[in-house]
Chains A and B, each alone.
Chain A
């Protein structure tokens, strides 16, 4: 197997992990087992996993957004972090203090997102800026994902402009899924193509069909490589369609049939299975085995999280500061 083939197999496995885990989350939500929102990356796995798999944990940093289960998995987040956070286990990284996709492990280079869109762009730039000051930036990349909606925020603009001014190895992947919650792109921006903005920022610009695994692996992997080699910030606009609502509370009925049946309405997992089989990279049988193995992994991660204690308000350390006041005088 060539290096490219190995990479594609690993990207696809992360796509599957994302999809199978999220299908399970959806069932748990519908069964009333999850409190709060459930936000899925269905239809965006090829983009997300291609990004996550192009990064190196322990060296690079990655600020995922709400539709990045596949990318988180590819970057190395264990499945149990997801199930624990969704199910409120006190053993999880957020300990019931924050939920669902608002999770991270900043110490492993994966900060926890806040809900305010675009906010992670300058944050990742700051992580890279610090690496430069520490002398550890060489060969590193920082990546973050946003949607079409986030490109309208001030934070996105400020962050990307700053990263360009500082010539940081930042990769922004814009998952242009045509809708920000229910708002179509016609009400979001007026430019012909979001990738045209790259020139304005002075950063590299790349477009890709986000439903096409081979294209995503090549274009997103290529953008990461360019940033890693000193090419400065790179913006990838991945065009696709969100194959669901904004969250599981939303049926997405506002997405017109013409879009669902259009070129981005196809399922990237189905496309990937065909591509890998036709390219001799994985057999259909092999991929079916992966699917079974991952389903079991997911079952185990859910079962374990369900058995763990929930947060206890009587034992909770109700302080938002790490400093213990009063500080005694010197």
Chain B
């Protein structure tokens, strides 16, 4: 028996519904149908009047969640695709994110964002929005890369009193499996060393953790030991773990699947340069997706995002400085 990444998301929601009467699920096609990706399969049956289909109204979905949170509930909102959260942008960044600072009342909502590319998904079903939301004060943005993190970070997101954007990677849904969900886990805000090394550090998150580990495995043949840091949450960003790794290796590659202008990788490089300039033996590097919409065709898509090949190339350049 194994557990997939999406099983973990479903399990977490089941646990939350069972243990916390304040939790309810609200989203498009999530009730009897079980969600576009089946992340809520069977939950409407198991928890009557706790799992609701809603109109195609992303703005109103988040508006409703904020209102419900004011009334003491802990809603989990499923965006069918992260891309569609652009319609809810106002409610997320202006209503939910500003509420605690303005009024002193926190807004404990969790917005699930099925994120990232998969072959054939194209420009409007592939986006990685974490950098955009992380820019705004008042939001927590998490990006689980493992089955256990998918489970525990969703539980922890709902327990947090602040609004959380839970970025779940669609490519990992069924591809990523684990024997079981680990009992032990790190809290939100702590990064993890996904693979230890000593010659260079790759700081990344979400699906790119696995691409980075693949690249590191390839470079192992040439004698390079690459450390991979999985940020887990991009906001807050665990700079201590990142700096400790860079202190060991002296070299930094910040890797992400989002568009290249600004974003998480730029923030990582900026922070390391500010706080750890003396630790660096080479100019820090960034590797992101290309600066075009995410293309539809699998051949184009595979070359749009970073790949083990392009990561190896970036690392060789970094190591040869």
**Residues of chain A having any CB pair with chain B under 8 Å:** 93-95, 97-98, 102, 104-107, 111-112, 114-116, 119-131, 133-134, 154-155, 158-159, 161-162, 165, 319-323, 325-330
Which residues of chain B are near A128, meaning CB under 8 Å? 67
Give the complex CA separation of A120 and B162 in angstroms: 20
Number of interface residues, chain B, beta carbon within 8 A: 51
CB atoms of A125 and B105 under 8 A apart? no
CB atoms of B60 and A114 under 8 A apart? no
CB atoms of B65 and A114 under 8 A apart? no
Give the complex CA separation of A121 and B63 in angstroms: 8
CB atoms of B64 and A125 under 8 A apart? yes
Which residues of B34-68 have CB atoms within 8 Å of chain A's CB atoms?
49-50, 54-55, 57-68
Which residues of chain B are near A98, meaning CB under 8 Å? 102
CB atoms of B64 and A326 under 8 A apart? no
Residue in B64, B90, B91, B106 with the greatest tally of chain A CB atoms within 10 Å = B64
Report if A127-B68 is in contact (Cβ < 8 Å); known contacts: A327-B187, A329-B187: yes
Which residues of chain B are near A125, meaning CB under 8 Å? 60, 63-64, 67
Give per-residue flags for B85-104: 1 if the beta carbon is below 8 A from chain A beta carbons, else 0. Answer: 00100110011011111111
Give the complex CA separation of A154 and B61 in angstroms: 12
Which residues of chain B are near A129, meaning CB under 8 Å? 64, 67-68
Give the complex CA separation of A112 and B162 in angstroms: 17
Number of residue pairs spanning A and B whose beta carbons lie under 8 angstroms apart? 154
Which residues of chain A are near B55, meaning CB under 8 Å? 158, 161-162, 165
Report if B140 contacts A (CB, 8 A).
yes
Report if A321-B138 is in contact (Cβ < 8 Å); known contacts: A106-B103, A162-B57: yes
Query: Which A residue's beta carbon lies closest to that of B160?
Result: A323
Give per-residue flags for B120-141: 1 if the beta carbon is below 8 A from chain A beta carbons, else 0. Answer: 0000000000000000011010
CB atoms of B102 and A161 under 8 A apart? no
Q: Shortest Cβ distance from B8 into chain A, in angstroms?
A: 18
Query: Which A residue's beta carbon lies closest to that of B62?
Result: A122
Q: Shortest Cβ distance from B88 into chain A, in angstroms?
A: 10
Give the complex CA separation of A323 and B186 in angstroms: 16
18 intermolecular pairs with C-beta atoms under 8 Å apart:
A119-B63, A119-B91, A125-B67, A126-B63, A127-B67, A129-B64, A129-B68, A133-B24, A133-B73, A158-B57, A161-B55, A162-B55, A321-B138, A322-B162, A323-B161, A326-B190, A329-B186, A329-B190
CB atoms of A326 and B186 under 8 A apart? no
Q: Shortest Cβ distance from B316 into chain A, in angstroms?
A: 34
Residue in A112, A116, A119, A121 with the greatest tally of chain B CB atoms within 10 Å = A119
